[in-house]
Amino acid sequence: MFVDTPFEECARRDPKGLYARALNGEIKNFTGVDSPYEAPETPEIHLQTLGKSAEEMVDALEHWLNERDIAEDQYDSGGGI
């Protein structure tokens, strides 16, 4: 599963301030700052999060699982898996 969120959005959402610290040079070998990030080439599922709600992400994952008969429809869109 590839949960695809742009670097800028990850930094914006970062509750611990790790991205800011890495950009200031306080944290070394931080992925996407001074250590390369390589997105997976062929993920089984690719979820693009920008502009999507958590509920939309759960719905997309639920759809993907149901298409493959990996999980029964035992959850609803409001409560999680």
Question: How many structural domains does the chain have?
Answer: 2
∠7-9-11 over CA atoms, to 5°?
70
30 and 58, same domain (yes or no):
no
69 and 36, same domain (yes or no):
no
61 and 32, same domain (yes or no):
no
Domain that holds residue 27: 2-43
57 and 38, same domain (yes or no):
no
Q: Distance between CA atoms of 64 and 47, rounded to whole angstroms?
A: 10
Q: What's the DSSP call for residue 29?
A: S
Residues of the chain with pLDDT under 50: none
Q: Cβ distance 71 to 65 under 8 Å?
A: yes
Residue 69 confidence (pLDDT): 86
Sign of CA dihedral 18, 36, 13, 20: positive
39 and 56, same domain (yes or no):
no
62 and 81, same domain (yes or no):
yes
Residue 45 confidence (pLDDT): 93
Residue 34 confidence (pLDDT): 94
